[in-house]
């Protein structure tokens, strides 16, 4: 029996939230008294396997093959199946990224095993995994108990703290996966990598978001949002109203039909706080609302509020943070 | 070519906070029920595939008798036909049971080349049903598709998006596709469409017809509850000038240790 964690890599870089899952995996493996196994799949990704050794696994399985270079569901599922057999895994985890959710889903279904998608907490009870899911868009919590021997979960990013990298341990073991490129149904024709300078919303510790309040000058409004975000090393978010109005691309949208985020600090500028927006950011640790309307519903969810015009408040905040964080420009 | 679009009837998103754990447990949710917002993109894409490739479309939904509002919305948008799948064993929140029932309905419909779905439901939030449907059908799967570039010679070319960017891929049919919001702008049903849909008689497929009187379950939902209400006492930062307000807020945030 073991706990197996898939460490996702994209273009040879480990996906940060995978470490959160591996860290939690250590805790679960310890309470089960079973080994923790990390799985790295790709081509020429020894560095990711080496990095994984720093987060406490007993073994790192490395499936390396040219056909595994980029994520394709069928060969990656074959690799995960092989790893489950090799590690005799009973608890199988991954970060709930697009690929992590799909991979755990398909392999769980193939094995007729239970799945807890996008879990927000995990624990062990009577030798089995219990997952907590947030459903009804953050309005209901449920414990998921498994009736099957294999227990699969994908874990929402930022549900667990990122572990500190420690001394490398556990051996890297090659995991041969028989993949015949001719048998892979999916062919990748073209790749447009994401802008790596942008901080991902779901991984962000701090998010600064703009909403309809930027309407009188949307371009300047989001420039001010971005400037504050830059000083704080934060990701830029937006409300649906701002996205629908075309002020900023959809990938920045936070809320019901956008991303669900859980930063330490969420600064909402010119966002009224519709229920659908709150569903996406209501779990943030500290919420700051900046809005001209003192009756905006966002203030009912916020820890701190400034009733004022974001076009004045944001530059003032940016300047003050620069000063305090020692980032003041030298003139 | 035939396209099946899987539709879920879900609470109006504005009413989600009012849904109680008891309603979820019993399955008798009192909220206004509408088409799952993510599934509107799938319905729109089914209609567009009809225009582009002459495909016929059928909307399939799992629900109790009479739970046809979401299907009627899809019909009113322009999906050709609709089918309600009434399988009690698939109603207990087990994603694989749901997938089993939907896959059986797709098979029962016959000759389907493409299954389209939204990326998740606003109530179950699993985003796993389409994976299960592909698995149960033994079909290929494409997730988070932002554009169907072409369907020709039994192969779909599509763009899909994930955290690492965007990829253009090809996949042989038959295929299950979950669509992302970027794929299209769902149309509003026309007045004529609504009238036609309101008169439509939607056939019901029963568990008996599908041979699904019981479906093995893999998980149990227990201890349904509301999340702990968060502290909502807002501290409004006052000040003579905006600079003073900014300074006070920065003080507070540094003290919270969230910077």
Q: What is the CATH number of the domain that holds A241?
A: 3.40.50.1220
Measured between beta carbons, the chain B residues lying within 8 angstroms of A193 are 164-165
Q: Which helix (H) or strand (E) holds B96?
A: helix B95-109
The residue ranges of every structural domain in chain B are 2-210
Exposure string over A253-267, b if 16+ CB within 10 A, otherwise e: bbbbbbbbbbbbbbb
- Same domain, residue pair A71 and A164: yes
Query: Which chain A residues are Cβ-neighbours of B96 within 8 angstroms?
Result: 108-109, 112, 115
Residue B91: which pLDDT band, with cuts at 50, 70 and 90? confident
Q: What is the CATH number of the domain that holds A80?
A: 3.40.50.620
Task: Note the pLDDT tens digit of each residue in B66-83.
Answer: 999 999 999 999 999 999
Both A256 and A152 in one domain: the answer is no
Residue A188 to residue B124, Cβ atoms within 8 A: no
C-beta atoms of B21 and A115 within 8 A: no
Q: Are residues A118 and A237 in the same domain?
A: no
User: What total number of domains does chain A contain?
Assistant: 2
Give the chain A residue nearest B16 (alpha carbons): A136
Q: Work out the end-to-end distance of chain A between its first and last CA atoms, rounded to an integer number of angstroms.
A: 62
Give how far A163 is from chain B: nearest CA, Å: 18
**Distance between B191 CA and the closest CA of chain A, angstroms:** 24
Residue A247 lies in a domain: yes
CB contact under 8 A, B24 and A304: no
Looking at the complex, report in whole angstroms how far the Cα of residue B201 sits from the nearest Cα belonging to chain A.
30
| Residues in chain A closer than 8 A to B142 (CB atoms) | 186
Nearest CA in chain A to B216: A112
- Shared domain check, A161 and A276: no
Please tell me whether residues A19 and A128 are part of one structural domain.
Answer: yes
- Look up residue A149 and give its two tokens: 């021997």
Instruction: Write down the residue that tokens 């994930």 correspond to.
Output: B162
> In this structure, is residue A192 part of a structural domain?
no
Mean pLDDT of A278-295: 96
Q: Is A143 close to B221, i.e. CB distance below 8 A?
A: yes
* DSSP 3-state of B117: strand
Quote ipTM for the complex. Answer: 0.95
Cβ-based contacts of A286 with chain B (< 8 Å) = 253, 256, 258
Do residues A161 and A231 both lie within one domain?
no
Please state, in angstroms and rounded to a whole number, the distance separating the CA atoms of residues B48 and B9.
22
Q: What is the model's pTM?
A: 0.94
3-state secondary structure of B153: coil
pLDDT-derived band at B232 (thresholds 50, 70, 90) equals confident
Bridging pattern class, strands A59-64 and B9-11: unpaired
Claim to verify: residue A28 and residue A145 sit in the same structural domain: yes
Q: Contacts of residue B221 in chain A, CB cutoff 8 Å?
A: 142-145
Clarify whether residues A37 and A158 are in a common domain: yes
The candidate with the shortest Cα–Cα distance to A198, out of B165, B144, B168, is B165
Please say which residue of A168, A183, A198 terminates a domain: A183
pLDDT of residue B231: 66
CA distance A35 to chain B (A): 24
* Residue B54, min C-alpha distance to chain A (Å): 25
For residue A57, the SS3 value is coil
What's the angle, vertex CA B229, arms to CA B224 and CA B230, rounded to 5? 140
Examine residue A196 and state whether it is found in any structural domain, yes or no: no
Contact B251, A288 (CB under 8 A): no
Q: How confident is the model at residue A88 (pLDDT cuts 50, 70, 90)?
A: very high
* pLDDT 10s digits, B94-128: 899 999 999 999 999 999 999 999 999 999 999 99
Running DSSP on this structure, what letter comes out for residue B78? Answer: T
What's the helix, strand, coil split of chain A in %, to 5? 35, 30, 35
State which residues form the domain around A107: 2-183
Q: Which residues of chain B lie closer than 8 angstroms to A232, CB-CB?
A: 259
- Give residue B84's region: left, alpha or beta (phi > 0; psi -120 to 50): beta
Q: Which residues pair with A42 in a beta bridge?
A: A64
Which residues of chain B make contact with A257, given a CB cutoff of 8 A? 37-38, 181
- Which residue in chain A is spatially nearest to B128 when comparing CA positions? A105
CATH topology of domain B2-210: Rossmann fold (3.40.50)
Instruction: Tell me which residue in A112, A136, A325 faces B16 most closely, judged by beta carbons.
Output: A136
Residue B229's pLDDT is what?
78
In a domain, A152, yes or no: yes
Cα(B206)–Cα(B87) distance, rounded to whole angstroms?
6
pLDDT exceeds cutoff 70 at A329: no
Answer yes or no: is A189 within a domain: no
Q: What are the chain A neighbours of B252 within 8 Å (beta carbons)? A: 304
Out of B169, B236, B252, whose CB is closest to A307? B236
Length of chain B: 259
Asked whether residue A178 falls in the same domain as residue A68, the answer is yes
Regarding whether A167 and A295 lie in a shared domain, the answer is no
Contacts of A26 (CB under 8 A, 6+ apart): A36, A55, A56, A57, A163
Contact B143 A146 (CB under 8 A): no
pLDDT at residue B13 in the model: 93
Do A161 and A273 share a domain, yes or no?
no
User: Cβ contact (<8 Å) for B227 and A200?
Assistant: no
């Amino acid at each position: 029996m073991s706990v197996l964690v898939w460490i996702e890599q994209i273009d040879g870089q480990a996906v940060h939230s995978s470490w959160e899952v591996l860290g939690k995996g250590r805790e679960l493996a310890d309470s089960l008294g079973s080994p923790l196994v990390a799985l790295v799949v790709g081509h020429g990704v020894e560095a990711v396997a080496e990095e994984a050794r720093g987060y406490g696994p007993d073994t790192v399985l490395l499936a390396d093959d040219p056909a595994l270079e980029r994520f394709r569901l069928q060969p990656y599922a074959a690799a995960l199946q092989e790893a489950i057999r090799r590690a005799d895994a009973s608890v199988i985890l991954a970060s709930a990224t697009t690929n992590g959710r799909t991979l755990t889903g398909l392999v769980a279904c193939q094995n007729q095993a239970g799945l807890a998608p996008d879990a927000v907490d995990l624990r062990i009870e009577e030798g089995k995994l219990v997952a907590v899911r947030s459903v009804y868009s953050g309005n209901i919590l449920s414990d998921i108990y498994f009736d099957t021997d294999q227990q699969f979960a994908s874990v929402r990013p930022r549900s667990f703290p990122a572990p500190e990298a420690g001394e490398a341990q556990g051996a890297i073991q090659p995991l041969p996966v028989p993949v015949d490129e001719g048998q892979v149904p999916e062919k990748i024709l073209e790749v447009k990598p994401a802008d790596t300078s942008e901080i991902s919303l779901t991984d962000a510790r701090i998010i600064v978001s703009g909403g309809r309040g930027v309407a009188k000058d949307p371009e300047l409004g989001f420039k001010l949002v971005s400037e504050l975000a830059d000083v704080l090393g934060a990701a830029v978010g937006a409300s649906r109203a701002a996205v629908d109005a075309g002020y900023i691309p959809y990938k920045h949208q936070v809320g019901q039909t956008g991303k669900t985020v859980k930063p330490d600090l969420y600064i909402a500028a010119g966002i009224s706080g519709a229920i659908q927006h709150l569903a996406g950011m209501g779990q943030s640790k500290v919420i700051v609302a900046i809005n001209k309307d003192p009756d905006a519903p966002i203030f009912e969810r916020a820890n701190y509020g400034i009733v004022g015009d974001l076009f004045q408040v944001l530059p003032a905040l940016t300047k003050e943070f620069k000063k305090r964080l020692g980032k003041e420009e030298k003139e | 070519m035939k396209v099946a679009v899987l539709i879920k009837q879900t609470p109006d998103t504005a009413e989600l906070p009012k849904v109680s754990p008891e309603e979820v447990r019993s399955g008798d949710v009192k909220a206004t029920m509408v088409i799952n917002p993510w599934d509107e993109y799938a319905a729109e894409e089914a209609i567009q595939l009809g225009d582009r490739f002459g495909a016929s479309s059928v909307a399939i939904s799992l629900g109790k008798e009479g739970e046809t509002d979401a299907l009627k919305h899809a019909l009113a948008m322009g999906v050709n036909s609709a089918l309600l799948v009434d399988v009690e064993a698939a109603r207990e929140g087990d994603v694989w049971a749901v997938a089993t029932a939907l896959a059986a309905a797709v098979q029962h419909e016959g000759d389907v080349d493409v299954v389209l779905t939204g990326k998740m439901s606003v109530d179950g939030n699993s985003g796993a049903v389409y994976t299960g449907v592909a698995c149960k059908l033994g079909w290929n799967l494409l997730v988070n598709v932002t554009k169907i570039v072409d369907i020709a010679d039994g192969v779909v070319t599509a763009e899909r998006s994930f955290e690492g960017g965007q990829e253009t891929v090809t996949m042989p049919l038959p295929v299950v596709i979950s669509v992302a919001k970027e794929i299209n702008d769902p149309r509003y049903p026309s007045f004529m469409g609504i009238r036609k849909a309101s008169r439509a008689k939607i056939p019901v497929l029963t568990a008996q017809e599908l041979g699904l009187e019981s479906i093995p379950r893999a998980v149990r939902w227990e201890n349904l509850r509301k999340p702990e209400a968060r502290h909502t006492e807002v501290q409004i930062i006052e000040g003579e000038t905006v600079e003073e307000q900014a300074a006070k807020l920065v003080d507070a945030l540094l003290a919270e240790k969230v910077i």
